[in-house]
Amino acid sequence: MSSPRTETPGLEPQSPKEAEEPQTPAHSSWRTGSGKEPSGHHVDGTRLSLGTLKQAFSRASQRASTRVSKEDAGVLRRSSCALFRSLRRALDEGPAAGHSQATPEVPSEVMSAVSQQASPGAASKELKPEAEGKSVADLITERQLLAALEQLLHLETRLVAEKASRTFEQDPTAFARRAMDVCLHYDGLAAEIGAIVRETLGADGVDAAALAELARVVRAEEEGHAPPDDGDFLRTPRRWRQHWEEAVRRSAQERVRRPGAGEAEAASGLAQLLAELGGVVRRDLQKVWQEVQPAYSAAGFPAWEVYLRAFHGAVAQRLQELARDARGCEQLYLLLDWAANVYGSPDFLGAPGLALPTEPLPPLLAPDVWARLESDYTSFLEARIASCFDRILQLEQSRWAAAEGPEVLQGLYRAPLSTDVHMLVAEHVKAAGAISAELEATTLRICTRALGLFVPRFEEAFLASEAVSDPHLGAYINACEELRTSFLSRFPGTQEELEKPLVAATCSFQKHLLRGLQRDLQPLFRAVWTRGWLAGDWLRPLMDKVVVFAGHLQHVARPRAQETLQEVHRFVVREYLAQALRPRERFRGMERLRGSQKMSLDAQAIGDIFQGLGSEATWLDQAIQCVAEILGETYKDDIQRHLETLIRNYPDIRRDHVLAILALRRLGRRRNQHLLQHAQDLLRAAAGAAGAEAPRGRVLFEEIKVPSAMAMLITCI
């Protein structure tokens, strides 16, 4: 396939007549800056040639800037300066030196554009190939690189031999001109190698012949065809492999920098830039593997790993440049994600058909750069997560203002709160986990801490609003419970930080839920142990409210619903006993017996209703019944047995409660004293056995306040 050729500066081919002309003195073959011939006055040849050489370099530098690539321009300037300093040292030593040691050291990295200033007559005679009839410049232009190299080696060897024979002893500038021509043609060869490498990944396709020729040049040097490094400035090896590898690196850098030449100010711009970058690198590596590598391999010159490492280094450099300018959570995450999951995925560098490098590639981002990106990302993330929780609170407040009730999904009240929090945390933790385990743990800590601060704020805002209702309270109890269980199961490390605020919020919502029912039920208990209570059905309206309340609890998660129902059960029994032990009216005789029977019926009804609602607090069923049996017991000796049952089942009962019960029964002073003493003995024994504490969750009489012991004692007596 034909491909564009890079013009290689050098000596133009000359006619045989011109080639046979003898060498002209140095001062007559160089042009001045204006292009005129120098004057015919006799001037010191050394100084005149030095001045014209300066002008030649000046003009050559100007022309070279338009004929070589940007990366080669630096080489031209450095090499030209070095060559000029070397020539000046030799010319200043002058003919007096008279030895080859005075010959200037000419470096090999001089751009070929300068060779236009050399003497046409002298150089073309040396450089024109006899066998092919083509000049070195023509061979380079036609990309017959190995032939050009062989002729340059021949010219170099011949020039070194002439130097050793002191041919240039009287005219050092002649040697300098011819040495410079050889060096410039070497640089032309190097420039052509760079051009071939640059064109390889272009849109015009791969010139397999040019690549094979390039490979043969490198192998020729490595197999010993190049002159040894014996200290002579011309016979130093050009190190073509290093030059080729550097050209590959420059080509990769140029390809990588093409996507997104302008800075990406927004996350969308950066995402597009990274997508284009990934596409370019994948396509180029596929091309290298499928077209470039086979062309080099045909000449016995493997190139895949050099290209792979060149692109890896170019991508790393480009990514670090983008990292310096990255701003905001989105851009920082895009860079981390691209480095870890796009470029770092097995499908990128290890795509099907591509060979992996023999040695692992270095990290795409240096550890300090990666650590800085993660640190900056988490700093932005903290503010972002806090802002998201603020937004969740605002959404809930808008629902309260609109008087929107919670939905019932799968039989439970459902608030969007839990879904929003789950999505927020899961999204960020999962995204961070795709980058690294360390970033995932850090993100989880940030989310957990933010949630722990959010829950009390949310609780306070809701309870201060006008939206407090049984359905809403039930929905938020479910939300807190769901968050607690799901977080602890998925992220066990969050227990310490989340358990306390979520449990506190759940208990707070439960208390407010109960408080509303208690406000409604409290007035109804005032009828207990009154004559109106004996005649009427006071229990039905109370238990109707309980049944309605229990209907809401059916939409609450079972553990919390059961806790709340048992608390309602305990509240009803407790308030019933509290009202009975602080009677507003006193019963005697038959009224007391009727009251005992009524209390027994109420105890049975309360137990049956709560059992039907699903309450598991069966331990409460005997409390009202035992008191009713004490009040209605006609055989006074059995009262002691009923007291023993009461104290055994409810160890939190105290002496004041026993006094209050005996005051209702109105026994004689001696019997009351006997029963009270026996009860105290039982209480002391129970306190010693149970550590003066009721079983956990079985608190009943402890929360019942009764009149002072002295007043009840007087009543009993």
pLDDT of residue 708: 67
Residue 363 near residue 318 (C-beta atoms within 8 A): no
Is the pLDDT score of 98 beyond 60?
no
User: Given pLDDT bands bounded at 50, 70 and 90, which one contains residue 376?
Assistant: very high
Is the pLDDT score of 424 beyond 70?
yes
Residues 247 and 142 in one domain: yes
Residues 544 and 442 in one domain: no
pLDDT of residue 46: 34
Residues 393 and 486 in one domain: yes
DSSP per-residue codes, 139-197: HHHTT-HHHHHHHHHHHHHHHHHHHHTTTTSS-HHHHHHHHHHHHHHHHHHHHHHHHHH
Is pLDDT larger for residue 38 or for residue 375? 375
User: Given pLDDT bands bounded at 50, 70 and 90, which one contains residue 712?
Assistant: low
pLDDT of residue 550: 95
Mean pLDDT to the nearest integer, 466-478 = 92
pLDDT of residue 190: 92
Residues 181 and 306 in one domain: yes
Domain final position from 508, 537, 560: 508
pLDDT of residue 317: 93
Residues 297 and 407 in one domain: no
Q: Which pLDDT tens digit goes with each residue over 449-463?
A: 999 999 999 999 999
pLDDT of residue 508: 94
User: Given pLDDT bands bounded at 50, 70 and 90, which one contains residue 709?
Assistant: low
**Which has the minimum average pLDDT: 74-78, 330-334, 547-551?**
74-78
User: Given pLDDT bands bounded at 50, 70 and 90, which one contains residue 446?
Assistant: very high
Residues 680 and 547 in one domain: yes
Q: Within a domain: residue 108?
A: no
Q: Which pLDDT tens digit goes with each residue over 160-172?
A: 998 889 888 888 8
Residues 409 and 546 in one domain: no
Q: Which pLDDT tens digit goes with each residue over 51-87?
A: 333 343 343 334 333 334 444 434 333 444 444 444 4
Residues 571 and 703 in one domain: yes
Residues 397 and 296 in one domain: no
Residues 305 and 430 in one domain: no
**Which pair of structure tokens corresponds to residue 606?**
């309360």
Query: What is the span of the domain harbouring residue 667?
Result: 527-689+697-715
Collapsing DSSP to helix, strand or coil, 315 comes out as helix
pLDDT of residue 353: 64
pLDDT of residue 716: 52
Q: How far is CA 109 from CA 78, 114, 172, 191, 213, in A?
A: 8, 12, 21, 10, 21
Number of domains in the chain: 3
Residues 212 and 278 in one domain: yes
pLDDT of residue 298: 86
pLDDT of residue 324: 87
Q: How far is CA 429 from its chain centroid?
A: 9
Q: Within a domain: residue 346?
A: no
CATH code of 552's domain: 1.10.357.70
Q: Within a domain: residue 84?
A: no
Is the pLDDT score of 50 beyond 60?
no
User: Given pLDDT bands bounded at 50, 70 and 90, which one contains residue 431?
Assistant: very high
Output the average pLDDT for the chain: 78
pLDDT of residue 679: 84
CATH code of 395's domain: 1.10.357.50
195-197-202-207 Cα dihedral, nearest 10 degrees: 90
Distance CA 245, CA 479 (A): 62
Mean pLDDT to the nearest integer, 486-499 = 82
Residue 422 near residue 461 (C-beta atoms within 8 A): no
Who's near 261: CB < 8 A, 6+ residues apart? none
Mean pLDDT to the nearest integer, 247-266 = 78
**Which has the minimum average pLDDT: 245-249, 279-283, 350-354, 364-368?**
350-354
User: Given pLDDT bands bounded at 50, 70 and 90, which one contains residue 89?
Assistant: very low
Is pLDDT larger for residue 312 or for residue 638? 312
The closest alpha carbon to 148, from 167, 162, 163, 132, belongs to 132
Q: What is the 3-state secondary structure (H, E, C) of 424-485?
A: HHHHHHHHHHCCCHHHHHHHHHHHHHHHHHHHHHHHHHHHCCCCCCHHHHHHHHHHHHHHHH
Q: Within a domain: residue 430?
A: yes
Q: Within a domain: residue 202?
A: yes
Collapsing DSSP to helix, strand or coil, 238 comes out as coil
Domain final position from 315, 347, 378: 315
Mean pLDDT to the nearest integer, 419-437 = 93
Residue 382: burial class (beta carbons within 10 Å; 0-12, 13-18, 19+): middle
Residue 228 near residue 178 (C-beta atoms within 8 A): no
Percentage above 70 pLDDT, the chain: 75
Mean pLDDT to the nearest integer, 534-553 = 93
Q: Residue 495: which region, alpha, beta or left (left: phi > 0; alpha: psi -120 to 50)? A: alpha
DSSP H/E element including 414: strand 412-414
Q: Within a domain: residue 29?
A: no
Domain final position from 478, 508, 538: 508
Mean pLDDT to the nearest integer, 288-313 = 91
Q: Within a domain: residue 52?
A: no
Residues 548 and 486 in one domain: no
pLDDT of residue 392: 96
The closest alpha carbon to 507, from 484, 477, 550, belongs to 477
Residue 350 near residue 324 (C-beta atoms within 8 A): no
Q: Within a domain: residue 57?
A: no
Percentage above 90 pLDDT, the chain: 46
Q: Residue 508: which region, alpha, beta or left (left: phi > 0; alpha: psi -120 to 50)? A: alpha
Residue 117 near residue 60 (C-beta atoms within 8 A): yes
Is the pLDDT score of 589 beyond 90?
no
